[in-house]
Amino acid sequence: MSSSSIKKPKVSEYTVTTVITSEPTTNSRMATTTVSSTSVPTSSQPRATFRDLCALFCCPPLPSSIVAKLAFMPPEPSYRILTSDTGRTSLELLENRTGSEWPHGQEELKSINVFFAKTSRRNKIACMFIKPIMPTRFTILFSHGNAVDIGQMCSFYVLLAYRLGCSVFAYDYSGYGQSTGRPSEKNLYADIAAALKALENRCQIPPERVILYGQSIGTVPSVDLASKNPRVAALILHSPLLSGMRVAFQGIQRTWCCDAFPSIEKIPRVSCPTLVIHGTEDDVVDFSHGVTIYEQCPTSVEPLWVAGAGHNDVEMHAAYLERLRAFIEGEVCSNSSSAAITSSTQISSREDKSEEEELQNNNKNSRSASR
């Protein structure tokens, strides 16, 4: 079934699978819960006044500089990319900065391919490619949160790759880890574009086999790319935000000219299957952001609302991997197969038309020669 044919229920009527307990566990009980529009948490923050907005965004610093200070918090690099005399690159994790010991074997660590990719804004971004031993159909292009780098996320990427049977391609934003430049909204968009280009040119993986995965601030470049490139296979939005100002002020109802990260304006242009994941007790990006993104995306599928989960612990619940696996093996594969059939039909039709035109031209030439 094509993603465009998905009939999406309203918030007041859909039924979703959630984790009953708020305690993260790998054996959480599962249940079906009806989420109504009245159950969406609302913040107690006061509505923003025009004076508040001007004070924060308009005078005297530029909005972009404010956004960089509020949204980007790059940690001390947790890894190094080493280059041998032969030009071969390898990953070195700095144990005192990754936050935990490497939980996998050395073979997994050695199998991680690391390299740099150039962006259109002249930065070099650090890239990481993890490919399981078994053959994989899809590759997840992962855009991480605002306070980590790919070294800290590395063990999670390996887990994700083997649990989901997908390759994982991750990268650091400009100014993060070993990437050059400074973090900014424009660089976010250039960074993910460079990552997709590296996947296609260096790893020989076409966009049709790429699943964009954005977490928190990473949903911003993921939505932007999905809205511009209809060829990508799917989109996963983990704790997405509507826009920068809507995070700062819960009362904002429109997108201002100085607003940053306006995903709410781009999500209606996404045409691939889209899975939205959000914790109901998220105190960083309110749960209502995820609900609105789900509602406004024309190709969103059944979402995952994790009851009791916050901003940084959704993946600790059993429902997380279960829903991801079901999404990839179900909606994504189904849509990919439908797209392949459509493409094959179009190619066949063009070939038939070309053969018909060639036959007509030959007939014309034959008649001309007989005269």
Active site residues: 216, 282, 311
Q: How many CB atoms lie within 10 A of CB 168?
A: 27
State whether the Cα torsion 289-293-295-300 is positive or negative: negative
Quick one: which of 328, 185, 209, 203 has its CA closest to 262?
185
- What is the rounded CA–CA span in Å between residue 315 and residue 296? 24
| HEC sequence for the chain | CCHHHCCCCCCCCCEEEEECCCCCCCCCCEEEEECCHHHCCCCCCCCCCHHHHHHHHHCCCCHHHHHHHHHCCCCCCCEEEEECCCCCEEEEECHHHHCCCCCCCHHHHHCCEEEEEECCCCCEEEEEEECCCCCCCCEEEEECCCCCCHHHHHHHHHHHHHHHCCEEEEECCCCCCCCCCCCCHHHHHHHHHHHHHHHHHCCCCCHHHEEEEEEHHHHHHHHHHHHHCCCCCEEEEECCCCCHHHHHCCCCCCCCCCCCCCHHHHHHHCCCCEEEEEECCCCCCCHHHHHHHHHHCCCECCCEEECCCCCCCHHHCHHHHHHHHHHHHHHHHHHHHHHHHHHHHHHHHHHHHHHHHHHHHHHHHHHHHHC
